[in-house]
Structure 1
Amino acid sequence: MAKRPATTTATAPATTPIPNFIRGGDFSDPPASNKDGEKHYMQIDAPEPLGPWRLTDGIALVCSGAMTRSSHQAIDIGGAVLEQEFDTAPVGRTVEITWMHCKNTDRTCSGTTSQSYAASVLDPNGIVVAEGRYVPGINFSPIPATQTLKFPVNSSAPYTLKFEGEAGTSCGAMIYRVVGQAASTS
């Protein structure tokens, strides 16, 4: 009987699932209409807190599922800056942050030319490790699309996720279902 060569297997840390490290990515707390009565949105002004998120500049709207035409609340990023500090995964792992976005199709936003926004991840030293600029949909379609930022974890200290709206008004892209997890190709 011939001896078989020794084989190596992947180490557990590289294959171990990583729980969602983004908190409040569904924007469900507070309910969208609790502050503005019967409206399907709630206005948030910087520096008003939004759960684990910090609105550091501008005005954003938390929008109900009726406005997003889905069962999910979303944030209309408008021209605001929204940040969250988060702990990621063990050093050496590659992680990704995914989210859905769609155009704001509210009739008061008709004719809005730009619903673009930027998203970035900053390491503990404030250095950008992943970034992108996004424009939801073509025409005035509410069809959602998944977006992704992928980056290697090089520090055990907290990182920061930042969304920066580029619309001059609250008629910006709607962002929802923000999730942080192990990258599919770790």
Structure 2
Amino acid sequence: MSGTRGPYRTGIETRRALVEHAIRVFGEHGYRGGSLRMIAESVGAPASQIVNHFGSKDGLLTAVLDHWDALQVADGGRRGLAYVEELRTRIAYSRDNPTWVEFFLTLGSEATARDHPAHDYFVARYAHIADRLQEEILYAAASDEIAPIDPSAARVEAQRLSAMMDGLQLQWLLDRELDLVGAFDDYLDAVIDRWRRPII
């Protein structure tokens, strides 16, 4: 049987193009500054087409965030330090996809406003990141990969790791001469080495 053809296929391709161009527009102008007209014009379509596909600007943003979630690097079931080490792959992905980095950091900054449509998304996302990193740090300690650590200290370490990743990516956007992957590798090496030394 032949692949999908005709209007349905065209609709899928148009929807994908609108999402991809929304990433660029929202990354450059923010959600509030990026208009439907900007996005539509970038693909040579009327703004009404976005409404037809997504219902509203908020609907388009939801589609973009869903697309972002689908592209995230899978952890492959890794636990403990193996999961933490996978952060290196995520930073390398960011280096290779600067449009996504710009989008995520721009939207994340905007979404600190409680009335922003992505506010709840980012609150939940950062909570999930901290929860999972804390869990894996504690797992690493229980597995004797690192020295014992209490849950509150593991939470602080998780938040620091997340903050370092975001901070380095922001600096990298401002100065592409920065070795993003190398800087994070050095930081993570030092952190893991510190975790392995018992607290006296």
Larger Rg: 2
Pairwise same-fold verdict (TM > 0.5)? no
TM-score (norm 2): 0.28
Structure that is richer in helix per residue: 2
TM-score (norm 1): 0.29
Structure that is richer in strand per residue: 1
Higher RCO (CA 8 Å, separation ≥ 6 residues): 1
